[in-house]
Amino acid sequence: MSYEVVGITVLWTFLYGYLIVASIDFGAGFFSYYSKRTNKNHIIHNIIQRYLSPVWEVTNVFLVFFFIGIVGFFPDTAYYYGTALLIPGSVAIILIAVRGSYYAFATYGAKESRLYSFLYGATGLLIPASLSTVLTISEGGYVSLEDGYVSLLYRELFTSTYSWGVVVLSIVSVLFISASFLTYYASRAKDENALQLLRKYALTWSFPSILAGIIVFFLLRQQNYEHYQNMLDIWWVFGISLASFGVAAYLIWKKRNYGTAFVLVMIQYFSAFFGYGVSHFPYLLYPYLTIYDGFTNESMALALIIAFIAGLFLLIPSLFLLMKLFLFDADYVEGKK
């Protein structure tokens, strides 16, 4: 296995970790705001706060690792994506900063503000929508390269059915992943009222999430036929994703094994996410950039691979310890400490 393949695999693993952890965080923010607007905040507020309190500070670690790694392994991505995503990327950074400011004010006991609550809920949907632009652009047709100058074709991006399909998919996936986890978390907390409400949210967003995925799959046929054909060649990977979704939704509907259901949701997105990545191989940006173009030298690549794998082995036990001491500690989950 070449350094290029190892490098992109490690980075894709970090990005998947961010997909799951950040989705729970973003969705929790939206549900928190939505429950306030519907006068149900008293039902799920404690559950959401008990989850967010020890976790929010580590959510972006995965994303930071990914961005450092993508530039370290593939320096040319800084030129192509850095130029094309100047405005969309800036918007995402501003939204993340706004969300971080809410956490800071909430943590240090500032007075509850409707404006901050709204921004907290809104950024939970707008951040994944803005970040999904990267995957959209990578399919080609949205970037122009003339005389060595990279520019983003905003008209093509904002009038593309595929582009908006990816935005919708990112939003409904965030809500489904988050609701599935919070349902399990409420069951661990033995909070029946929160459990029933969050279970309702999970079932509500389950069908839209899988429907959006199927629609985007077929929209890809018009946007990037080569990638679409590559996905058909590994159809069984997406079959695993669909089957995992079906069993997870069934368990939530039958009100049992919520932990198993969330693990199946993770498998659902793991299969779909890595299936998408493998079928996208070797392109980082159709048709201009592959993982073999402008790859860093072997010494640097080896050092980065060792550093990132070591980081992964440090991060995973740290998250496990965090979950053991806080998230899944019996007394903490039930609000006794």
The mean pLDDT value of the chain amounts to: 84
pLDDT at 230: 94
Note the pLDDT tens digit of each residue in 50-93. 666 556 667 777 778 888 888 888 888 888 887 777 777 788 88
pLDDT at 334: 52
Is residue 279 pLDDT above 70, yes or no?
yes
Q: What is the pTM of this model?
A: 0.90
Within 10 angstroms of residue 303's Cβ, the number of other Cβ atoms is 13
Is residue 277 pLDDT above 70, yes or no?
yes
pLDDT at 52: 62
Is residue 329 pLDDT above 60, yes or no?
no
Note the pLDDT tens digit of each residue in 158-179. 899 999 999 999 999 999 999 9
Note the pLDDT tens digit of each residue in 116-135. 778 778 888 998 988 888 88
CB 18 within 8 A of CB 177: no
The total number of structural domains that make up the chain: 1
Note the pLDDT tens digit of each residue in 200-233. 999 999 999 999 999 999 999 989 999 999 999 9
pLDDT at 239: 94
Average pLDDT for 244-256: 94
pLDDT confidence bin for 260, thresholds 50/70/90: very high
What residue numbers bound the domain in which 85 lies? 3-333
C-alpha 125/C-alpha 324 separation (Å) is 29
Residues of the chain above pLDDT 90, percent: 32
Secondary structure of the chain as H, E, C letters: CCHHHHHHHHHHHHHHHHHHHHHHHHHHHHHHHHHHHCCCHHHHHHHHHHHHHHHHHHCCHHHHHHHHHHHHHCCHHHHHHHHHCHHHHHHHHHHHHHHHHHHHHHHCCCCCCHHHHHHHHHHHHHHHHHHHHHHHHHCCCCEEEECCEEEECHHHHHCCHHHHHHHHHHHHHHHHHHHHHHHHHHHHHCCHHHHHHHHHHHHHHHHHHHHHHHHHHHHHHHHCHHHHHHHHHCHHHHHHHHHHHHHHHHHHHCCCCHHHHHHHHHHHHHHHHHHHHHHHCCEEECCCEECCCCCCCHHHHHHHHHHHHHHHHHHHHHHHHHHHHHHCCHHHHCCCC
Is residue 113 pLDDT above 70, yes or no?
no
